[in-house]
Each structure stands twice: as structure tokens, then as C-alpha cells.
Chain A
Amino acid sequence: MEEQKTAQSFTVPIGPQHPALKEPSHFRITVDGEIVTDAYVRLGYAHRGIEKATESRTWTQNLYMLERICGICSHIHGMAYCLAVERLAQVQVSPRAQAIRVLFAELERIHSHMLWFGVTAHEAGFDTLFMYSWRDRETVMDILEELSGNRVNYSANILGGVKFDVDKSRIESILDGINFLEERTQYYLEVVSTDTLFLQRTQKIGTMNRREAEVLGTVGPTARASGVNRDIRIEAPYAAYDQFPIQINLDDSGDLKARVLVRLRELFESYRIIHQILQNLPTGDLTVRMPRRIKQGETILRVEAPRGELFYFIRSNGSDTPDRIKVRTPTICNMMSVIKLVVGHQLADVPMILAGIDPCFSCNDRMVMINQSNKTSHRWRWEELRQYGIKYYQQRAA
């Protein structure tokens, strides 16, 4: 084993196997004493070849394959796929099904944020908060189990609608659970904003101002904590979000404390939307008949996963298997900000900053192939790309 010391610096590997990481990835951190001087990331440990595998399965089978890209964003992946395919097939789904999809999506957001909160507390060494927040997460998992039959990977989507209905007897138990969670979230918000030692671990750590957040391309609550005003549910509402609008949660400080606060406040928005949906559930069928062969065409769809903007591109060639499905998950956008931010902080802050972007490594392994054999290259400037986007959306609305 070679000596890892070179001129006062020292390389610490975090991952692929490390108690701080829930999923494998490799960070090579160069430290000088306790201060980090350089960082390097290598991903790809959870690559399973899902995008290629979708090309040889039918549209129905692909729903379940794409749902299993990630454990806690599974419903949103399934929902994005269903919305995109329904758009390609030009099928209108009933409002009731869309509302139930949004209900599941918000419940999943609550699940994901509570899980993340516990994990962040654990990385800070605050095990008590970890245990209590995961105890409360059991409540939302029980709600999901009652509604769909499974605690994770609910499989509530089906091409053309949803599988499970929400009837009056269930609404009461859901609301009980949500009220309990609301009380507990209020308590956690207080703990996080006032506990001195936890604040010492999160305040002024990993600060990223608005300009940096935009240049690095961060999305989701990580960007909103730095003041970037982007939320797909507001900018480009999909499913039932135009009937049940969301209010955005921003914070200006851009440090770890801001990220924690933004996610906790998003929980309150989710509770409010769930109350609204359960009180005003539209009527309609649950599913609509979908053809087995989807019309030729291509489409893109963006949704707001609990971690940020999730992007799907689907191309069909008229048969019963898709031609190409491309998924771009939010963690891969936020990963570069970690590399940028850890330099200058202490080694003890590295797991905290990593946990602050809510990494989901199973989502983010994609492969990019650069075709260098084709000699003609076309360079797009920012303005050209923007104009192309505007024209694309105008054509689609027409």
C-alpha cells in the first residue's frame, strides 16, 4: 500500500463502503490536517443498465422497471413515465386519477423528507433526533400501506390512471396520521432552529449564494435554500397541480441550516395539499383504456421529485416497446455543488454537506456516450438553445 502522504496532504476515501453513505459512491477527499483542500467524485457503482433494458420490454412492463430506479422516489418516476406515455398516446386521464396521483406524490415527498431528516441528524451525531424522526416516518408508511398495500414502491400508477381508490373510510385515518405528523414536524422545526449544538453543525456550513447555485446547476430544495426561485410544480404544473397549487418555500442564507428549514417547510405545504385533495376529491373513473401500441413521436416531461427536477425523454416508434427512454435525475445536478463546497471546510463537515443535497445514488447512475467519429459538430449558444426551447413549447401548446 503506497504512502498516501504527499507534501503535507493526505487522501481520505469516503466510500464505496462507508458508514456515512447509504448507497455506494466514491469521494476522494484530500485533507491537510482537518481542512479539506481538494475533492474528487466517482460515481457509477449502482449502474444497472435500466435505460437499455427498457428498450426490450413492453410499455406496461417498463412502468415497473422505471419505478425501481429508486426506492423513495419510485412513485414520481412511475408518474412521470405514465404522464409522458399518456401524452404520446393522446389519452386523457380522469381528474380523479390525477388527484390521487398527486396525493401519492405528496405522501411520498413526506416520506422522503422525513427519511432525509433522520439521516442528516445521524450524520451530525444527533442520534436521538434520528430515532424519533424515523419513528414518526412509520406513520406515513402506515398510511401508504393502507392506501396501496406496500410501504415502499407503492406501484399506485398504471398506464391510464391509478390502481387504488381513496374511499371515505380511509380518509379519516389518513387525516389523523397527517395531523400527528404536522405536530411532530412543528416540534422538529423548533429543535432544528434553536438547539445550539445542532446549529453549530449546520449554520454557515456549505454556504452557496444564489449566483453560485445557478451556475453550478443545482435543482430542488438545495437550490431553493439559496434563493433560486424554481419549482416545477409551479412553473409547469402537471397532473392535478393546477387545481391544487403549491406555494414556494425559499430561503436566502444558502447554508445547511437553510436546506434543513426549506425541506421541513415543504412538509407543511404537503400537509396542506393533502388536506385540500382529500376534501375536494374530483369524481371520475380510476383508469382509462390505453392502447397497447403507442403512436410514434417523442416527448419530454419534467416533474418535481423530492430531490429536485426529474426529466424524462421518451421516444416511440409505433410499436409496443419504446424506442428510447432517457432519465435525468436531480442528484446528478446537485453532485457538483458538493465537490465545490467542501473545499475549505473541515473533514467533519463533509458528510453533512453531502447529506444536505439529499443524495440518491441509485437514481443518478447514467451513462453518456460522446460520439466523436462524426466530424461535423454544431455548437449551440445559450440564446439559440433558449429560443429552441420556447419554440418547442409553443408548438406543443398549439
Chain B
Amino acid sequence: MESNTISNELRSLFSLVVFPGGCFLILLGLSYEWADRKLLARFQNRIGPRWFQPFADIMKLLAKEEIVPEGVDRRLFIGLPIVALTGALTAGLYLPILGVKTTFSFPGDLIVTLYMLSLLTLCMGLAGANTLDRFSLIGATRTLTQLFSYESPFLLALLGPALFSNSWQVSEIIAHTDGHWLMLTQPLGFLVAMIALMGKLELPPFDAPEAETEIVAGVLTEYSGRGLALFRLGKGVELVIGLTLVSTLYLGGITNPLTFFLKTLALLLIIVVLQALLTRLRIDQTVGLWWRYGSLLVLLQWFFLILLQGSAI
């Protein structure tokens, strides 16, 4: 009995730290970042980075000195990247990364996943507000404004399948929607979820918070060395988790590694095409877009869902 408990504990620890959470998730995040950059480069008719480029970037950043600017709160400055990465990694605990059924699952874990993803964005906003640099302050304002605008349509769009499966638990939703592609029955929700995912990941056209030509690097302007490496890892992990979430909920669940790669890479392809096609939106245009069209579409979707639900019962 005790050895059973100990081996259970060891198994949980293993899946938390090594596979499929923790280290494996970080490596997966780096590979997806590579796939994103390589595909974008090919669409722009250029070659793109080699397969180990994101890994080399992180290694290089970890080897450099971390400069803490004068006048900032030192503990916040150093601690926020760590909290951000932790939030992103925690969000992955409840999802079927690589098709492996999660060992941690409890009712309501969909909400926890979504909040952990927002924790990353919130940490970046706080990090920008903490730094006294003017560019970081404007970047922080833009990040938080953008968070305000896409967050509610994103959450509502992802809760549509939860409504369909009558459960807030990811593993139950998977069991309910296995083979059933909600993309076809809830198209508006899928559309909103995809576009909002681009907003969450701050990919073009929603990359006003880190607009290189206006505010240098936005929130991350003053970060260097380890802090920057952790934020970038967090973004890579966020990419994987966002893709897994949307493909789990809308593309009929993930049960084995092959479907994991196929579905998430298909979604990544669509996202990269949208990145290459569209110009950056100004922050006021982003807010206008979301509060006009985004919310409207998702509310329409929910209206239909509730109607259908009511008629089914």
C-alpha cells in the first residue's frame, strides 16, 4: 500500500517536472516557436532559422548578465518572470499534452487553465509597469488594454464546448467530444477562439504591445539575461498550451501523439498565414474590433447554443 502511494507520488512528480509537464513542455514550446518562425519566413520567401535557433537564443540569454535598472523594485523585477513561467507551466498540467492523459484533473480545471494563461499576460503587464522606462509603461498599458478587450470573448468562446459537454473539466470534455468536431457545429465560437488566441499570444496583427517600430520592445525593453529568457520561455509554452486548448475543445479531442501533432500544427499553420497576411492594428483599433465584432459574434454563438440546448432538453 505504501509503496503504491510512493510510486504514485513519484509518478506525479515525474509528470509534473519531466514529462509531459516541466522540461518536456519547455522543449515543446521551443520547437513550436521554431515552427512558427520557420513557417513565417517561408511565407515571406526567405529561409528562416535553423532548428536549434530558439534553444540557442535561450542558452545565450542565460549566459548574459542580468541588468536591473535603477529605481525599480528589485524583488518584483527578478520575481515576475519566474511567476510568469510558472503560471504558463501550471496551465499545461490539465491538458493532454502529446495525447497523454493528465494525472492531475479535477472538476473546474478548465477555468484554472484559463486563469493561469492570463497570469502570464498579467505578469508581463506588471513587469512593464514596474520598470520606470517610458517605453515599458506604454507597453504595459497596451498589454493590459488588450487583455481587457480580448479576454471575455476568448473565455466565452472556450466555454462554449464546456456548455455543450455540461462540464468544466477538460478530461470530461474530451471524453464527451471525442470524434465530434465542434468546429463544425460551433463555427463562430471557433473563429473567435482562433483570433483571440492570436491576441493572447501577441502575434501580429495584435502585437501593438510589443510594436518594435513604436515602443522599442514594449514591456520587455529593460529585461536582459535570465529575466528575458524566462519570459520568452513562457511565451513559447503559452503558444503550445493555447494551441492544445483550442484543438482539444474544438477539433475533437486529443488522444494520441499523432493527432496531437497533426491538429496543433494545422492550427499553427492557419495562425502563421494570418500573421503573414495582416498589418499590425493600432491599440484603439484592436479594442474597437473586439468590443464590436468579437463580443457580438461570441454572444451570437452562445445564443444559438442556449437555444439548441433548450430545444434538446
Contacts and interface: CB of A to CB of B under 8 A. Distances in A.
Interface of A: 1, 4, 10-13, 18-20, 31, 33-34, 122-128, 131-132, 135, 195, 197-198, 200-201, 346-351
Nearest to A351: B213
A200 B44 contact: no
A19 B212 contact: yes
B135 interface: yes
Nearest to A346: B282
Contacts of A132: 44-45
A358 B44 CA distance: 24
Contacts of A350: 214
Contacts of B278: 126, 197
Contacts of B282: 200-201, 346, 348-349
B69 to A, nearest CB: 9
B45 A135 contact: yes
Contact of B279 (A10, A12, A201): A201
Contact of B134 (A10, A18, A33, A131): A10
Nearest to A195: B279
A128 B44 contact: yes
11 contacts: A10-B134, A12-B135, A125-B207, A127-B44, A197-B278, A200-B282, A347-B138, A348-B208, A348-B211, A348-B214, A348-B283
B281 A126 contact: no
A34 B145 CA distance: 12
Interface residues of B, number: 32
Contact of A4 (B44, B134, B212): B134
Nearest to B46: A131
A197 B286 CA distance: 11
A13 B285 CA distance: 24
B277 interface: yes
Nearest to B137: A10
Contacts of B215: 12, 347
A125 B282 CA distance: 10
Contacts of B285: 200
B45 A197 contact: no
Contacts of A18: 216
A128 B214 contact: no
A135 B45 CA distance: 9
A20 B71 contact: no
Contacts of A197: 205, 278-279, 281
Contacts of B141: 33
Contact of B44 (A11, A13, A131): A131
A198 B214 CA distance: 16
Q: Give the residue among B141, B208, B279 with the most A Cβ atoms within 10 A.
A: B279
Contacts of B45: 131-132, 135
A34 B134 contact: no
A131 B208 CA distance: 20
A200 B282 CA distance: 9
A346 B281 CA distance: 12
B262 to A, nearest CB: 26
Sorted from nearest, which 8 A-B pairs have the closest CB atoms?
Answer: A125-B280, A20-B213, A131-B44, A126-B279, A197-B279, A348-B282, A128-B276, A123-B213
A34 B138 CA distance: 8
A182 B71 CA distance: 55
A376 B45 CA distance: 65
B65 interface: no
A369 B27 CA distance: 62
A58 B198 CA distance: 61
B277 A128 contact: yes
B70 interface: yes
B132 interface: yes
Interface string B214-244: 1110000000000000000000000000000
A34 B208 CA distance: 12
B237 to A, nearest CB: 24
Contact of A34 (B207, B216, B279, B283): B283
Contacts of B284: 34, 346
Nearest to A125: B280
A343 to B, nearest CB: 17
B20 interface: no
A131 B212 CA distance: 16
A126 B280 contact: yes
Nearest to A129: B279
A123 B208 CA distance: 12
A128 B43 contact: yes
A287 B49 CA distance: 50
B134 A125 contact: no
B111 to A, nearest CB: 33
Nearest to B43: A128
B116 to A, nearest CB: 29
Interface in B271-310: 276-285
B198 to A, nearest CB: 13
Contacts of A1: 70-71, 132
Given A20-B214, A34-B138, A125-B207, 4 more contacts: A31-B138, A126-B280, A135-B45, A200-B285
Interface string B114-138: 0000000000000000001011011
Contacts of B212: 19-20
Contacts of A122: 213
Nearest to B280: A125
B204 interface: yes
A12 B134 contact: yes
Contacts of B46: 131
B283 A125 contact: no
Nearest to A3: B132
Contacts of B44: 127-128, 131-132
A366 B104 CA distance: 69
B132 A127 contact: no
B279 A198 contact: yes
Nearest to A135: B45
A127 B276 CA distance: 7
B213 A19 contact: yes
A348 B282 CA distance: 6
Contacts of A125: 204-205, 207, 211, 213, 279-280
A34 B134 CA distance: 12
A202 to B, nearest CB: 9
A94 B200 CA distance: 65
B205 A13 contact: no
A264 B135 CA distance: 34
A257 to B, nearest CB: 13
